Amino acid sequence: MIQDMKPENIVGEFKEIILNLYGGFSRKIYYSELETPYPDGKLIVSTTDPAGVITHVNQAFIDMSGYTEDELIGAPHSILRHPDMPPAAFKELWDTVQKGEKWQGFVKNLRKDGGYYWVKATVIPNIRNGITVGYTSVRRKPSKAKVDECIKLYPTLF
Amino acid sequence: MSYIFTVSPDFSPDHISGWYIFNTWLQKHTDLAIHLEMYNNFHSQRSAIQNDSIDLIYANPYDAAILVRDKGFRPLTKPRGCCDEVIVATSINSPVQDIANLQPGIKVATTEDPDVNMIGMIMLESADLNAANIELKTSDSYVLVAKHLLRDDSDVGFFLAEAFDDLSTLIKNQLRILVRSQISVIHHSLMLGPKLADQHDLISRLLLDMDADEKNREVLSSLGFTGWDKVEDEEMEFMIDLMDTLKV
């Protein structure tokens, strides 16, 4: 289950929307135009179970998302879902990793404070003895040129 | 029967004698005949791995997937507090102040160290640089990488952070760090092959207890370590998955 965002956590002016998330959930989102730049040299790492529920996060994930570790563990990974991300991108992600393949793409993630950060994300299935036991996702700093391409492309995919 | 032990060729030259001391210590405490075979480069070491010639290895994280998933190795330990982090640096005289300032066509000085090269390339990605639009100049050591920068015949260099920190102050003062990775979960590991599988618990216990004894601490010190920490099978699987995501 995933909780609605809280207006008191949001920094600056914000908009409101209800997002329908993977797994049949919906969530009230508050989002602003405040960007947090991706820090040089860091990798954001997380693992999920096969249903996309977070089982591990590293410190960079905590720092960039604005959530505490307790808030993240057990939450669906879509807690980061930003309304500017087209659903088609996540459908492609799930279709790819459920086939046992790697997925890579550029993602605008939503912070707890309503701001956002861009990442280059790679997701791979964790296969143990032939069975997918979860997924590992690693996010790195994206190039500005690629982000600019996505800013133009993604609105056309809704 | 004699077993073969080898060490990732990116070990610090200062510690070569330390690995021979460690091997002697290991033989004495396990009662096993273990021969330390040092390979000059990753290519020849990988050939030995492929030929099933290796029984114990202090492995570069880049080779962990082959060792565990193809060759049936199991992790034993990692050096305490040591992670493989990477520095991308330039000459202090370079006008480049930030990774984002780097342009296609740059010359990158590096070694053969595979995980350093992989992480270094990831840190250049944010400037839209990749193997197709840079020129790699491979050297035998990090001192030579630094010399390429000081002679101005390379624009940036990739360093294992530990090796960079070990450079002389004179050299370091002539270099500028553009970025230092903060990944924390990629590390070298001591790993045991299938022929020694029944010795796993014994060797693991010996290694984990090493820092409790003064003489053993001297052996650790000769390797530049303060102790060994256990690496569980799942921790190794996690690192291999992580490396797989980074190789994309």
The model's pLDDT over B52-87, given as tens digits with 9 standing for 90+, comes to: 999 999 999 999 999 999 999 999 999 998 899 999
B166-208 residue pLDDT tens: 899 999 999 999 999 999 889 999 999 999 999 999 999 999 9
3-state DSSP of A30-78: EECCCECCCCCCECEEEEECCCCEEEEECHHHHHHHCCCHHHHCCCEHH
ipTM: 0.89
- Contact call for A141 and B125, based on CB within 8 A: yes
A123 shares contact with chain B (CB less than 8 Å)? yes
* Predicted local distance difference test score (pLDDT) of residue A24: 79
* B161 and B125 in a common domain: yes
User: Which residue in chain A is spatially nearest to B85 when comparing CA positions?
Assistant: A41
DSSP B198: G
The pLDDT value given to residue B66: 95
Claim to verify: residue B111 and residue B152 sit in the same structural domain: yes
A17 to chain B, minimum CA–CA distance in Å? Answer: 31
- pLDDT tens, residue by residue, A105-117: 999 999 999 999 9
Q: Please tell me the distance in Å from B65's CA to the nearest CA on chain A.
A: 13
| Judgement on whether residues B167 and B139 belong to the same structural domain of the protein | yes
Question: Burial, B28: exposed, middle or buried (Cβ in 10 Å; 0-12, 13-18, 19+)?
Answer: exposed
**Domain range A35-157, CATH architecture:** 2-Layer Sandwich (3.30)
Share of chain B above pLDDT 90, in %: 92
Confidence tier at B13 by pLDDT (50, 70, 90): confident
pLDDT at B42: 92
**Widest pairwise Cα distance in chain A:** 49
Is residue B102 within 8 Å of B248, Cβ to Cβ? no
Of A90, A122, A94, A58, the C-alpha closest to B245 is A122
B95 and B109 belong to one structural domain? yes
Q: Is the same domain home to B77 and B135?
A: no
Average pLDDT of chain B is 95
Residues of A whose CB is below 8 A from B184: 58-59
CA distance readout (Å), A124 to A106, B60, B223: 15, 21, 35
Check residue A22 and give its pLDDT: 76
B248/A contact by beta carbon, under 8 A:
yes
Give the separation between CA B141 and CA B12, rounded to whole angstroms.
9
To probe the interface with A, which of B68, B85, B245, B247 has the most A CB atoms within 10 Å? B245
With a cut of 80, say whether residue B248 has pLDDT above it: no
Taking an 8 Å cut-off on Cβ atoms, the answer to whether B245 and A102 are in contact is yes
- Report the C-alpha gap between B98 and B80 in whole angstroms: 32
* B61 and B118 co-located in one domain: no
Contact call for residues A66 and A112 (beta carbons, < 8 A): yes
Residue of chain A with shortest Cα separation from B119: A41
Per-residue pLDDT of chain A (158 residues; tens, 9 = 90+): 688 999 999 999 999 999 988 777 899 999 999 999 999 999 999 999 999 999 999 999 999 999 999 999 999 999 999 999 999 999 999 999 999 999 999 999 999 999 999 999 999 999 998 999 999 999 999 999 999 999 999 999 99
Let me know whether B226 and B153 are in one domain: no
Residue B17 makes CB contacts below 8 A (sequence gap 6+) with: B222
Contact B238 A136 (CB under 8 A): yes
Domain count, chain B: 2
| CATH number of the structural domain spanning residue B201 | 3.40.190.10
Model confidence over B206-244: pLDDT tens digits? 999 999 999 999 999 999 999 999 999 999 999 999 998
pLDDT for position B12: 81
For residue B140, the enclosing domain spans: 86-180
pLDDT value at residue B216? 97
Q: How many CB atoms sit inside 10 A of residue A56's CB?
A: 15
Q: Are residues B59 and B134 in the same domain?
A: no
The pLDDT of residue B1 is 82
> What is the C-alpha to C-alpha distance for residues B146 and A66, in angstroms, rounded to an integer?
38
> Is the same domain home to B24 and B65?
yes
Q: How confident is the model at residue B132 (pLDDT cuts 50, 70, 90)?
A: very high
> In sequence order, which residues have a C-beta less than 8 Å from that of residue A130 and are 6 or more positions away?
none
Judging contacts by C-beta atoms under 8 Å, the chain A residues touching residue B180 are: 41
Counted across chains A and B, CB pairs separated by less than 8 A come out at 65
